[in-house]
Amino acid sequence: MKTIGAVDIGGTKIAAGAVTVDGTVLGRLECPTAPRDGFPAAMRRTAEMLRELGRSTGAGYAGIGVACPGPLDPFAGIVGDVGTLPGWQGGNLVEALEGAFGVSVVVENDADAAALAEANWGAARGSSRFIYVTISTGIGAGIILSGELYRGVDGAHPEIGHMVLDFSGPLCYCHARGCWECLASGPAMVAWMREQRPDPCGLTASRICDLARNGDELARRAVDREGYYIGLGLANLITIFTPDAIALGGGLMKSADLFLDRARQVIREICTQVPVEKTHLTLASLGPDTGLAGAARAWIHRHQ
Ligand SMILES: [Zn+2]
């Protein structure tokens, strides 16, 4: 049986996989993204990985799905000015891979692709109003309404990570002050901790979580603050969309146990105008396969 070729593009690495129509990742290869080597070189490496996977699984590709950070044009497959992919602007993912394989190629924003995978194969199966939120270096989300991916005008992807929560907060690269991403992303947590206690030796969000578990008082405050802002952003989403389910993914959720009680408390306090108890808040369940499963699901979604 044919599989779907899946490509998950990140700023550091590109993963490729062969995925079955029920979401099983049969094989997986990775290479460095090395964006400064240029878009065509990255596409050649990607095509090589897909060919190798095709040989090892012995199955041809029905099509290829690609999950890529935005901004991008999900229909034309053209990469926009993506902060983590310098030099890729204008690169056409659809053209590059259709030219190499002669099958249809579908490109989707990575958060949207992950939302499709979680809604069909993961934590939100059976939910028709669903939001996937990823919290790591940045904060992004994919929204599913009535089983369909929500798209903005001209296919634009809504940037929920840049909703403003505290206008007196830190200045974000998006030019707003106190948007969700600059209050609750991993780097935001590190920046806050550094302001309180200068730390010259490579502080990371994961290190702060370790310190908090070991009883460091300031790290515990950083974790409490993180839970508060995660909850505040989620409370806004629940009030605006009243979804059946929200699933949380991304690197910071490896320490979800440190944040979620506080986040739930904030949600309960704030969401008084909607049936908040009906929104199921859960963790994303596809783990390290989310990106590849999402890329494959994006292809299936457009061919249903
Ligand atoms: Zn912002």
CA–centroid distance, residue 106 to ligand 1 (Å): 28
CA–centroid distance, residue 61 to ligand 1 (Å): 39
Please give the DSSP secondary-structure letter assigned to residue 178: S
Q: Which pLDDT tens digit goes with each residue over 73-126?
A: 999 999 999 988 999 999 999 999 999 999 999 999 999 999 999 999 999 998
CA–centroid distance, residue 165 to ligand 1 (Å): 10
CA–centroid distance, residue 181 to ligand 1 (Å): 6
Residue 270 has pLDDT above 80, yes or no: yes
CA–centroid distance, residue 20 to ligand 1 (Å): 37
Cα distances from 179 to residues 79, 137, 183, 258, in angstroms, run: 24, 14, 6, 22
Q: Which pLDDT tens digit goes with each residue over 111-143?
A: 999 999 999 999 999 899 999 999 998 999 999
CA distance 47 to 73: 21
Residues 183 and 276 in one domain: yes
Q: What is the mean pLDDT of the chain?
A: 95
Residues 103 and 127 in one domain: no
Q: What is the dihedral angle through the alpha carbons of 250, 116, 151, 159, rounded to the nearest 10 degrees?
A: 0
**Which amino acid is residue 83, in one-letter code?**
G
SS3 label, residue 167: coil
Residues 258 and 242 in one domain: yes
CA–centroid distance, residue 53 to ligand 1 (Å): 38
CA–centroid distance, residue 139 to ligand 1 (Å): 9
Quick check: is 223 in a domain? Answer: yes
CA–centroid distance, residue 132 to ligand 1 (Å): 19
CA–centroid distance, residue 222 to ligand 1 (Å): 20
Residues 74 and 166 in one domain: no
Edge-to-edge strand ranges of the sheet holding 61-68:
25-32, 13-19, 3-9, 61-68, 105-109
**What is the rounded end-to-end Cα distance, in angstroms, of the chain?**
18
| Listed residue (103, 124, 116) closest to 157, CA to CA | 116
Q: Which pLDDT tens digit goes with each residue over 22-37?
A: 999 999 999 999 999 9
Output the pTM of the full model: 0.93
Residues 14 and 101 in one domain: yes
Quick check: is 247 in a domain? Answer: yes
CA–centroid distance, residue 47 to ligand 1 (Å): 34
Residues 171 and 294 in one domain: no
pLDDT at residue 175, rounded to an integer:
94
| Listed residue (221, 239, 220, 241) closest to 231, CA to CA | 239
pLDDT at residue 89, rounded to an integer:
97
Alpha carbons within 13 A on the beta-carbon side of 186:
20
CA–centroid distance, residue 118 to ligand 1 (Å): 25
Tokens of 36: 């400064």
Quick check: is 114 in a domain? Answer: no
At residue 229, φ and ψ (nearest 5 deg) are -75, -35
Residues 275 and 129 in one domain: yes
CA–centroid distance, residue 111 to ligand 1 (Å): 17
Report the CATH number that the domain containing residue 250 is assigned in CATH.
3.30.420.40
Quick check: is 116 in a domain? Answer: no
Residue 200 has pLDDT above 80, yes or no: no
pLDDT at residue 181, rounded to an integer:
95
SS3 label, residue 55: helix
Residues 127 and 274 in one domain: yes
Quick check: is 118 in a domain? Answer: no
Quick check: is 183 in a domain? Answer: yes
**Domain count of the chain?**
2
Q: How sure is the predictor about 2, in pLDDT bands with cuts at 50, 70 and 90?
A: very high
SS3 label, residue 290: helix
Residues 82 and 41 in one domain: yes
CA–centroid distance, residue 109 to ligand 1 (Å): 18
Residue 59 has pLDDT above 90, yes or no: no
Q: Which residue has the higher pLDDT, 261 or 59?
A: 261
Q: How sure is the predictor about 271, in pLDDT bands with cuts at 50, 70 and 90?
A: very high
**Helix runs in 150-197, H state only:** 180-184, 186-196
Residues 149 and 86 in one domain: no
CA distance 204 to 183: 15
CA–centroid distance, residue 180 to ligand 1 (Å): 7
Q: Which pLDDT tens digit goes with each residue over 201-225?
A: 789 999 999 999 999 999 999 999 9
Q: Which pLDDT tens digit goes with each residue over 150-185?
A: 999 988 999 999 999 999 999 998 899 999 999 999
Quick check: is 117 in a domain? Answer: no
Structural domain including 12 reads 3-109+289-302
CA–centroid distance, residue 157 to ligand 1 (Å): 15
E strand residue ranges, 136-279: 139-145, 148-149, 245-249
Quick check: is 197 in a domain? Answer: yes
Residues 259 and 136 in one domain: yes
Residues 250 and 220 in one domain: yes
